[in-house]
Amino acid sequence: MQELVLKLQHAAAGFPLLMVGLGKLDDPAERPIAILEITIAALVLGTFARDAWAARKHHHVHDSVGWFDLAAAAMMMFEAFHGAHHKPGYLRPQFFSAVVTIGLALFHTKLHAYKTRKRYVKLDEHGLEARTGPFRKFRLGWADLHRVHLAHDKATFHRRDGKKHKIALRMLHNHEEVRKHLADHARAAGVNLETLS
């Protein structure tokens, strides 16, 4: 969801670009630029809608290329070179932003794989190990736990010594599966289990 909020900034810029392009269609001299503006805006808005739909359905789209990022980069590149400016297009901030965004789009799969390795939950009959961030990792044995509280979006582990550990399940790409296995393992180990849907 956080990624979607960041994408919203570029998607919001797609609407004015679309309106400007539609407004220029009647002028034959402006028609080529208008078609380019409409195409770029449609790509930005379309790829954003696709990502928003996937986020709503809790289905993560991980293509080999970040299509929204490529569309947003095309829009920034257009902004860098379109219109009269004192600086050449390649010296404008939009150009540098577009180049960085293209890099992010092309390395989308590798960046996602790195992010997935940073967050995980491993379960077995002895306990669990969880990494919830770059510097947050813990290991618990089932015998160390008094109670496990499972909500739809988080898991809270209450230790016998009174300490607690939490996992934001939505941060995991397979959160539904992890939630089910946590419940199964906790029951099998005889740990008190509270579940909320």
Long-range contacts, stretch 22-30, CB < 8 angstroms, 24+ apart? none
Q: What is the average pLDDT across 95-112?
A: 81
Instruction: Indicate if the pLDDT at residue 109 is higher than 60.
Output: yes
Indicate the burial class of 55 (C-beta count within 10 angstroms; 0-12, 13-18, 19 or more).
Answer: middle
Instruction: Indicate if the pLDDT at residue 116 is higher than 60.
Output: no
Left if phi > 0, otherwise alpha if psi is -120 to 50, otherwise beta: which for 58? Answer: left
Residue of 155, 161, 162 whose CA lies nearest to 130: 155
pLDDT at 147: 93
Residue-wise pLDDT tens digits, 32-73: 999 999 999 999 999 998 888 877 765 555 566 788 888 999
pTM passes above 0.85: no
